[in-house]
A and B are shown apart, each in its own frame.
Chain A
């Protein structure tokens, strides 16, 4: 380092300065579009609720208090907010199951895609992205059409004489899981595919040659080597699932709320913006904690291998 001439030092400084300028647009977008709104939400969560929605600019911890507790309207007794915890737990549970379903369906799909020739791969990759061409809401309504009492699924079931009356599929956890698995599956397949594409399939041959069964080759060679893709896929599915709003709204009816619906309720009919803001920040914090734990586990796993 000491051998650097003045010219080199100034050149390097100019280079660093130039890089700052070049990254400025991206930084602005991140600050204005990401950090800014989040800060507004944080501020709102510490304000007082207005009588007809909106906020009153006065500091209050009531929003955060209401995340976990509720005060009885008549005698002001404090009790745990069961409903919030139930909804939170349902959100985590449904997101977890969705992630698992996506992994079960997405893993073989990605494996199949990655083991094709380059031409077929391109086509399959295009097909995976086809759902993105349509709006999420429209796709969710399409699932609704399939699952409703007169929908395709029930028609087929009745034609096959498996049931006489239509089965109630809509407005249930089943419907939400179906919708979320369908919508978020590509987010599992794509990162899995991109790691498997780099996977040397001759390693599978080597494993078979060295007396591994199919299952052992899978658990001992393929899975450890595509683990980063699995973690990326699970993260990409789990996080939007946790905050999903449209799918539980359309497919879960009014009764099977997830945390996203609860937040919307506070900004709408509930007229409690600080609570909505506090719930939002709680969700963000939850996701961040989850990510940190995930990353830590991944790193220690990598060291052991």
Chain B
């Protein structure tokens, strides 16, 4: 699919443009038909399950792979045939790939040394970078003496030191523990703002993508599924894959009765008709898939047309999940935020009324 952003505007702001990019390894298709515009100064995330081609795209941006067809433009210049050492793009590697025989400062100054910058400039930049990643005073240590989180910071500083136009990050947080990862997510966002460098982040963790990104591209099987802001991706997934991959989603099947503009009336297997968002045209009588987030389902009184049998109640502290069975046999998860008053909640085995917010229920494209 095409990048939904306005092409006229993005031309001015674009940092990286991929046009019709495909990559084959022998007969294996890694990615195909990728058209993508990454804007300047944005935190852009390539999100998808393993094997979706996101790492291939990153490696092509870095210069480790050349596209089989199509071109990659950086500031309007085709860079797809340039080597990794010829393009102003740097990478933070998944395993950090720090040079174990060099000190922290020598690692950070490596690129500047390779570029032949004068020594005082290298020393100053290294100091600035150490301050940026909060490792001031540790320049003389060996990288092998640092903890995982500190190594991560050195890898970031090393890639940022030559001030690249684009910084690529290949799942850099995957080796960190949960708590450190949360801290680094915020840190990364801060560094991106402070440096004004375009970040291209690769991850399979949808939560990470939603937290940090300005825009997200969702990939599967070597093709782009959707490009948009975290809000768009989460609330308006275009297809079943995106809806299922990002966050928790209830997928319901139903038959279209009629469509009024963006609103479709769909009858569920249990015979209840509900309204759902449907920006694309569907014909009456066709089978469609509906997506609705658990937090957009609410408990309603017994007079509500749709009812559900409570099979399980799971308490999560902040909220409670109700696993319901709808009349047609379809499962539905409903999330309810817990109130402080400790009011009695419906219990397992009860039948309750269910309301699906029409604005948050969407008919998916197949």
Given that A205-B64, A206-B91 are contacting pairs, would A212 and B97 also be in contact in the complex, using a CB cutoff of 8 Å?
Answer: no
User: A211 touches which one: B93, B100, B102, B111 (CB < 8 A)?
Assistant: B111
A251 to chain B, nearest CB (A): 40
A213 at the interface (CB under 8 A from B): yes
Given that A205-B64, A205-B84 are contacting pairs, would A211 and B114 also be in contact in the complex, using a CB cutoff of 8 Å?
Answer: yes
B90 at the interface (CB under 8 A from A): yes
Q: Could you tell me if B91 and A212 are in contact, using CB atoms closer than 8 angstroms?
A: no
Contacts of A213 in B (CB 8 A): 85, 114
Q: Which residue of A lies closest to B89 (CB)?
A: A209
Q: Could you tell me if B101 and A224 are in contact, using CB atoms closer than 8 angstroms?
A: yes
A69 to chain B, nearest CB (A): 48
A212 to B86, CA, bound (A): 9
A59 to chain B, nearest CB (A): 53
State which residues 93-121 of B face A: CB under 8 Å.
Answer: 93, 95, 97-102, 110-111, 114-115
A221 to B98, CA, bound (A): 10
Q: Could you tell me if A209 and B100 are in contact, using CB atoms closer than 8 angstroms?
A: no
A210 at the interface (CB under 8 A from B): yes
Given that A202-B93, A202-B95, A216-B114 are contacting pairs, would A211 and B101 also be in contact in the complex, using a CB cutoff of 8 Å?
Answer: no
B246 at the interface (CB under 8 A from A): no
A224 to B101, CA, bound (A): 7
Given that A224-B101, A305-B101, A305-B102 are contacting pairs, would A209 and B91 also be in contact in the complex, using a CB cutoff of 8 Å?
Answer: yes
Q: Which residue of A lies closest to B155 (CB)?
A: A206
How many pairs, one residue from A and one from B, have CB atoms within 8 Å of each other in the complex?
60
A225 at the interface (CB under 8 A from B): yes
A51 to B221, CA, bound (A): 88
Contacts of B159 in A (CB 8 A): 209-210
Contacts of A202 in B (CB 8 A): 93, 95, 97
Contacts of A205 in B (CB 8 A): 64, 84, 93, 97
Q: Could you tell me if B83 and A208 are in contact, using CB atoms closer than 8 angstroms?
A: yes
State which residues 58-86 of B face A: CB under 8 Å.
Answer: 62-64, 83-85
User: B85 touches which one: A212, A225, A305 (CB < 8 A)?
Assistant: A212
Contacts of A220 in B (CB 8 A): 110
Interface of A, secondary structure class, is: helix
Interface string of A20-58 (1 = CB under 8 A from B): 000000000000000000000000000000000000000
Q: Which residue of B lies closest to A302 (CB)?
A: B101
Q: Could you tell me if B101 and A209 are in contact, using CB atoms closer than 8 angstroms?
A: no
Given that A211-B114, A212-B114, A213-B85 are contacting pairs, would A206 and B99 also be in contact in the complex, using a CB cutoff of 8 Å?
Answer: yes
Q: Could you tell me if B158 and A210 are in contact, using CB atoms closer than 8 angstroms?
A: yes
A213 to B111, CA, bound (A): 11
Q: Which residue of A lies closest to B100 (CB)?
A: A225
Q: Could you tell me if A208 and B85 are in contact, using CB atoms closer than 8 angstroms?
A: yes
State which residues 2-59 of B face A: CB under 8 Å.
Answer: none
User: B99 touches which one: A208, A209, A211, A221 (CB < 8 A)?
Assistant: A221
Q: Which residue of B lies closest to A224 (CB)?
A: B101
Interface string of A193-210 (1 = CB under 8 A from B): 000000010110111111
B254 at the interface (CB under 8 A from A): no
Nearest first, the 5 A-B pairs at minimum CB distance are: A210-B111, A206-B97, A211-B114, A208-B84, A202-B97
24 A-B residue pairs with Cβ-Cβ distance under 8 Å, sorted by A, are A202-B93, A203-B97, A205-B64, A205-B97, A206-B93, A206-B99, A207-B110, A208-B63, A208-B64, A208-B84, A209-B62, A209-B84, A210-B90, A210-B110, A210-B111, A210-B159, A210-B162, A211-B111, A211-B114, A212-B85, A212-B114, A216-B114, A220-B110, A305-B102
Chain A residues with CB under 8 Å of chain B are 200, 202-203, 205-213, 216, 220-221, 224-225, 305
Chain B residues with CB under 8 Å of chain A are 62-64, 83-85, 89-91, 93, 95, 97-102, 110-111, 114-115, 158-159, 162
